[in-house]
A and B are shown apart, each in its own frame.
Chain A
Amino acid sequence: MSANAAREQEFLEYVQSGGQVESTDWLPADYRQKLIKFIEMHANSELMGVLPEREWILKAPTLQRKLALTAKVQDEVGHAQLIYRVAEDLGKPRDEMFADLLSGKAKFHNVFHYPTKTWGDVGVIAWLVDAAAIISQKALLKCSYAPYARIMKKICWEESFHILHGRDVVLAMMTGTPEQQELVQEAVNRWWGPLMQFHGNPIAREEDPMYLWRIKSQGNEEARQQFLEGYVPQIWELGLTVPDSNLGRGDDGVWVYSEPDWAELKSVVTGHGPRSQERLDFRRRFLEQEKWVRDSLVAA
């Protein structure tokens, strides 16, 4: 074993036993590369994730809802800023990350490629999409890369407000008129497919490089099971149905469900979702339009 391989092996054993590292520590090249890829996608998702909700700030039904939605958008853009900062320290400049996002080279989460048709979608996104996201994010609190784990504390804390806000929107509609209840049911029907794809294919965690390096601390299927266990009962108790006749909890506590559409997931995250290009165009326009603000701040 070469000296470098031995050092890498020692690093691997260290992170696998729960050890954490800092930006100033020696990091294996593969670890650094995987970290950047993972963190960059997370940052991109926070940045792109505000767009489906931003569209509804002006259309929200009450002033309070507008304010709450604005606060949430601010939180998420703030998360993107914190996460991009962590990725920058690992060696990838922010301009390069923006360029890769806009050219389609870097990805963002599947759920942010879809339209927000009605106010029911806003509620379901804030409640269930954020719930799915917080399950992944909580698993990052133990990330082997400590600077990332530390900012996740703040991010998870703010996300818990987002879920409650979403649940409140849904409950207001479910205690409202039949038309309002129907809006929620239609939104659940639209979002169920993307939600089931959200945590990714059920690759065994031992084969997942992100788990191997302890960048994340759970496998994809564990995350999906946690989501089903936590939220399906909450959906059902409101009298809503889930559009999957195979869905159920086995006697062993493991949820069974229809195979998610992995081809759709792949197509959507590679920029072929119903709103992928429109949202990237929006980012391109604003990045260009507001270049003078960034330039004047740096020149100050």
Chain B
Amino acid sequence: MIFEVFRQEKKGQAFAHAGSIEAPDAAFADAWAREQYGRRGESAALWLVPRDAVHQVNDWADEFDLKYRRVDGYSIKGRLKEARERASSTAPVDR
């Protein structure tokens, strides 16, 4: 059985993929991962995930449809210029 190993270097940090190990069961994987990724105290915690349990998503639908959700979906340069010009060519609003 293959387990993917995710390692957290310090408490509070994100777990990052570190490698994988092959072990017959979770108990063996536990002992094996402690030796490989923890024997010098270099990890705060480990996640051992059976490879089959990882559901990967890496196919992304048409991203243009989602542009309005992001900063690069907005080009305000032209409009801003126009708005500034209009503001300076008309008389100040009496406040």
Convert A63-87 into 0s and 1s, putting 1 for each residue whose CB lies closer than 8 angstroms to a CB of B.
Answer: 0000000000000001001100110
- By a CB distance below 8 angstroms, the chain A residues around B58 are 24
Q: Tell me whether A85 and B28 are in contact in the complex, defined as CB-CB below 8 angstroms, given that A24-B56, A78-B35, A154-B37 are known contacts.
A: no
User: Given A24-B58, A150-B17, A297-B28, are A85 and B22 also a contact pair (CB < 8 Å)?
Assistant: yes
B20 near A154: Cβ-Cβ < 8 Å: no
B side interface size, CB within 8 A: 15
Closest to B28 in A: A297
Q: Quick one: closest B residue to A82, CB to CB?
A: B19
The 4 closest A-B pairs by CB, nearest first: A151-B19, A300-B24, A297-B24, A82-B19
Report the number of A-B residue pairs with Cβ-Cβ less than 8 Å. 33
B23 to A, closest residue via Cβ: A297
B-binding residues in A (CB < 8 A): 24, 78, 81-82, 85-86, 88-89, 147, 150-151, 154, 157, 297-298, 300
Flag whether B30 is at the interface (Cβ < 8 A): no
Instruction: Judge whether B17 and A78 touch: CB under 8 Å.
Output: no
Q: Does B87 contact A (CB under 8 A)?
A: no
Q: How far is the CA of A85 from the CA of B2 in the complex (A)?
A: 9
Which residues from B are CB-within-8-Å of A151?
18-19
* Contact A85:B19 (CB < 8 A) given known A24-B56, A78-B36, A154-B37: yes
Describe A's contact surface by its main secondary structure: helix
- With A78-B35, A82-B36 as known contacts, state yes or no: A150 contacts B24, CB within 8 Å: no
Identify whether the interface residues of B are mostly helix, strand, loop, or mixed: mixed
Mark B36-57 against chain A: 1 for CB-CB distance below 8 A, else 0.
1100001000000000000010
Question: CB distance A150 to B18 under 8 Å?
Answer: yes
**Could you name 19 residue pairs across A and B whose Cβ atoms are closer than 8 Å?**
A78-B36, A81-B21, A82-B19, A85-B21, A89-B20, A147-B19, A147-B20, A150-B18, A151-B18, A154-B18, A154-B19, A154-B36, A157-B42, A297-B24, A297-B28, A298-B24, A300-B24, A300-B25, A300-B28
Q: How far is the CA of A252 from the CA of B35 in the complex (A)?
A: 46
A24-B56, A150-B17, A154-B18 given as contacts; is B24 within 8 A of A81 (CB)? Answer: no
Q: Which residues of B contact A147 (CB under 8 A)?
A: 19-20
Q: Knowing A24-B58, A300-B25 are in contact, say whether A85-B20 is a contact too (CB < 8 A).
A: yes
Instruction: Tell me which residues across on chain A come within 8 A of B22, comparing CB atoms.
Output: 85, 88
